[in-house]
Amino acid sequence: MQIETILRPEMCFARLPGVSKKRFLTTISELIAERQASLSADAVYNALLAREQLGSTAIGKGIAIPHCRVETCDRITGALVTLDEGIDFDANDSRAVDLLFVLIVPVEETDEHLRVLGRLAELFHQDAFCQALRDADSERTLYEAATSFEAESS
């Protein structure tokens, strides 16, 4: 899986305000729904919140990969986000999260969902990848950093 198959430039958000986990989930749900007609902000928010209630999607080192399945989702959709200030995401290492990849998946895409999560975890465990994303100062540079790093590492 190449990241550009699930991430479009308009789904990158650089330096969003970091307030709280709940506020972040509300904001990102609205932003995703504005950009993908098949999704409603309420459906995305409720699915993301339900998944977080099962256990935090923070993977440590200031990174989280919130993910969920949504009935009306017609294709795997990613949103890449950096926050201007880290937020508590109940991470095992207690570090505030400032780098997130939100993944919305059609209900029937179970195997692909797991493959994509695995690939994202591989990418986010590379310090150079994470630093390139954190250094991005605009949506465009955030998208370019994500897609060019992956192309170079393939």
What one-character DSSP code corresponds to residue 95?
Answer: P
Give the lowest-confidence range in 54-63, 81-90, 112-121, 145-154: 145-154
Show the domain range for 149.
Answer: 3-153
pLDDT at 141 over 80: yes
Beta strands in the chain (DSSP E): 7-16, 58-60, 63-64, 67-70, 77-87, 97-106
- 22: which residues sit within 8 A by CB, 6+ positions away? 49
Amino acid at the residue 106: P
Per-residue pLDDT at 96: 97
Q: Which band of pLDDT confidence, cut at 50, 70 and 90, is reported for residue 112?
A: confident
Mean pLDDT of 122-133: 96
Average pLDDT, the chain: 94
Q: What is the pLDDT of residues 4-51, one digit of tens each?
A: 999 999 999 999 998 999 999 999 999 999 999 999 999 999 999 999
Per-residue pLDDT at 149: 78
% residues pLDDT > 90 (the chain): 88
Give me the active site residues, please.
Answer: 67
Per-residue pLDDT at 147: 94
H or E segment at 123? helix 110-124
Question: What tokens were used for 132?
Answer: 């390139």
**CATH code at position 90:** 3.40.930.10
Counting the structural domains of the chain, the total is: 1
